[in-house]
A = this chain, B = another copy of it.
């Protein structure tokens, strides 16, 4: 699996091949994220990457290997923002920053978010192993950080997993359900005002909650 074409002798040649592979990968991401694995044809990917179908199949043994290659890159992008959490930080700052970073990702790489979502909804047959290992380890380490914050009384008593899920869910929503967001608000994250409004609202909801007593602290 994941066979690479035989490496050429010179570095320049290897470079060119990597360039072509990455052009194909990014064309594939765009299409897979919109139409899914089965809704996309190798022909379409080749056309978008401006290579012939048989040339594409020279660089990637078959369609599924191409798909898995795209997913592999994705997982890294996906995990990145969470790595930031550290117990020394002020939790309020850390979480506010996380929401902003993740929303920026939803704005700048919606394709990545959508493909990840598609794969997950369909049971992640090709990501199960990665989930069980890398993701699980990372989330466990960050859960410890959250538990420490709670123990210090700097955070309300919350199960770390549910907080992580909530943070993921509310931020990805703007990428994965962008069509719905736009249908209902008429705006997208590309609109700088809307982006800031979204950041503020999500930070306020998660950090301070929405319930108020009439006559209480506004």
Chosen A-B contacts, 16 in total, with CB atoms closer than 8 Å, are: A36-B118, A38-B39, A39-B122, A91-B210, A117-B117, A117-B176, A120-B180, A124-B180, A132-B183, A139-B184, A155-B210, A157-B218, A163-B205, A166-B173, A206-B209, A207-B209
Residue A211 is within 8 A (CB to CB) of chain B in the complex? yes
Residue A34 is within 8 A (CB to CB) of chain B in the complex? yes
Q: Which one of A14-22, A45-53, A57-65, A196-204 contacts B? A: A196-204
Q: Which residues of B contact A206 (CB under 8 A)?
A: 205-206, 209-210
Q: Which residues of B contact A156 (CB under 8 A)?
A: 204, 208-212, 218
Distance (Å) between the CB of A175 and the closest chain B CB?
9
Question: Interface SS of chain A: helix, strand, loop or mixed?
Answer: helix
Distance (Å) between the CB of A188 and the closest chain B CB?
13
Residue A55 is within 8 A (CB to CB) of chain B in the complex? no
Q: Which residues of B contact A128 (CB under 8 A)?
A: 179, 183
Residues of chain A at the chain B interface (Cβ within 8 Å): 33-39, 91-92, 95, 114, 117-118, 120-124, 128, 131-132, 135-136, 139, 152-159, 161-163, 165-166, 168-170, 172-174, 176-177, 179-181, 183-185, 197-198, 201-202, 204-216, 218
Pick from B36, B197, B207, B214: contact of A122, CB below 8 A: B36
Q: Which residues of B contact A173 (CB under 8 A)?
A: 165-166, 168-169
Q: Which residues of B contact A117 (CB under 8 A)?
A: 117, 121, 176-177
CA distance A54 to B114 in the complex (A): 35
Q: Which residues of B contact A185 (CB under 8 A)?
A: 161
